Every structure is written in structure tokens, then in C-alpha cells.
Amino acid sequence: TLKNAFQADRIAQAFIMTGIRGTGKTTTARIIAKGMNCIGLDGHGAPTTEPCGQCEHCLAISEGRHVDVLEMDAASNTGVDDIRSTVIDSVAYAPSAARYKVYIIDEAHMVSPQGFNALLKLVEEPPPHLRFIFATTEPDKVIGTIRSRTHHYPFRLIPPRLLSSYLSELCEKEGVAIEPAAIPLVVRAGGGSARDTLSVLDQLLGGAGPE
């Protein structure tokens, strides 16, 4: 769906990424923001679902320093005043350097109904240069008038086989010796969340002896 939308130049004005923690919602939001603004190594790239990861925009988004891609933690910015000072007062200005000004609102279920209502007009009729990406573990707490104006992408638990191969590759790259039989145990303890699985692996490596 995303690839077709990008190729047809019909990128939605707002997305909502939902699912349990650690399944890639915010990471995907950053990839979408990169895809919207990637210029490629030759400086002439168009919006793409496979951003290069090396141009100035991709690098700045990865490092969290892009002036036109703002990540907002809704857990600490819940009210009307927070939304107004962080988002509403700045959207009238065109992007400083990129094609799109992108607001990634993490933990979106923490925004108050009054805060969402303040955003409603922008989500409904945004300026051409503005895009919103909401990420949440509790979509039912995002008011219906916002949800109905977004493209919804539900994220599911990551299959054990994928996580196992990822951990094996990661350990190899990090030069970590790990018994193959230990990897399924780590994956099971992570419960299908990439972040939880990596935390379990990190704790295991931190507590293991040289053997």
C-alpha cells in the first residue's frame, strides 16, 4: 500500500501505526519520513519507499536532528498548550530544507481529547507540505475523528523465525559467541517484541561470564 501510494504521489496526509511495544512503529515512521524527504546521493531523488539512508536528510532524521522532522513524545506533551506550542504555531511555515514537514507523535494515546481537537483541522486539511504520523499501543484512545482521517497500519508480533535469524546475525556482527540453543529461549522471553527481545539478550550478555 505504501509503495503504491508513493509511486502514485498520493502520500496520505496522516498515518497511524498501532501495535504492542517494540514492533517497529516509530522506526517505520522514521523510514516513511526519510522516504518523503530522501534526495539520494546525487541530490535529485524523488519520494521513495527505499530511502538511501546516506543523504543529508536521511542522516539527519536517523540522528534526530532534522529541523523539518519533529518527533514528539505525547506522554509528556498531552494538552492543548503543548500541541499549540509544538505543532500548531509552526505549521504555517514551509519546510526549511526538506520537501515535507513531518510530525511523528509517539505514544499518541496520551494526547488529551482537547489536544486532539486542536489538531483536528490540521489533520483534516493540512497544508501541502505537512504530514502527520501517529504511533500508539492503544488506538482506541485516539479520538475517532482523528482515526477516521488517517491511514491505519497495524503492527503485529514479530515471528520467532525472523527474530531468531536477526539475533544470530546481530551476535555475529558484534563478535558475540552464543550457543544456538540459547537463541530460541531469548526470543521466547521477548514475546514477539524486537525491543524486549534485544533487552533480554543484552541482559544475558551482561550477566554471562567469559565462557
| Predicted local confidence at residue 44, as pLDDT | 77
Measured at the CA of 75, the angle between CA 71 and CA 79, to 5 degrees, comes to: 95
Please choose, from the candidates 103, 105, 106, 2, the residue with its C-alpha nearest in 3D space to the C-alpha of residue 50: 2
Please choose, from the candidates 12, 19, 15, the residue with its C-alpha nearest in 3D space to the C-alpha of residue 154: 19
Q: E strands within the chain?
A: 14-18, 69-73, 101-106, 130-136, 151-154
Span 89-143, pLDDT tens digits: 777 788 888 999 999 999 999 888 888 888 888 888 888 899 999 999 999 999 9
Span 51-80, pLDDT tens digits: 999 999 999 999 999 999 988 888 776 667
